[in-house]
Amino acid sequence: MPPASEPMPGKDDTVPTVTDAPMSEAIFRAARAHRIMAGNLLRETGLYPGQELLMMQLWERGEQRQADLIKTLGLDPSTVTKMLQRLEQSGFVTRRPSSHDRRAVVVNTTRAGQALRDRVLQAWRDLEQITAHGLTDEEYDQAMHLLARIEANLTGTPGTDDAPDAD
Decide if pLDDT at 11 tops 60. Answer: no
Q: What is the pLDDT of residue 14?
A: 62
Neighbour tally for 72: CB within 10 Å: 14
> pLDDT at residue 97 above 70?
yes
pLDDT at residue 101, as a whole number = 86
Domain residue spans of the chain: 51-116
**Alpha helical stretches, state H, the chain:** 22-42, 51-61, 66-73, 77-89, 111-115, 117-131, 137-155
Give the bridge partners for 45, in sequence order: none
The distance of Cα 62 from the centroid of its chain, to the nearest Å, equals 19
CA distance 97 to 65: 9
Say how far residue 154 (Cα) sits from the centre of its chain.
Answer: 17
pLDDT 10s digits, 101-137: 888 999 999 999 999 999 999 999 999 999 999 999 9
Q: Are 57 and 72 in contact (CB under 8 A)?
A: yes
pLDDT at 167: 43
At 13, the pLDDT band (50, 70, 90 cuts) reads low
Using alpha carbons, list the distances in angstroms from residue 44 to 38, 40, 108. Answer: 11, 8, 22
Residue-level pLDDT at 12: 54
Which CATH number among 1.20.1280.260, 3.90.1860.10, 3.40.50.1370, 1.10.10.10 corresponds to the domain 51-116?
Answer: 1.10.10.10
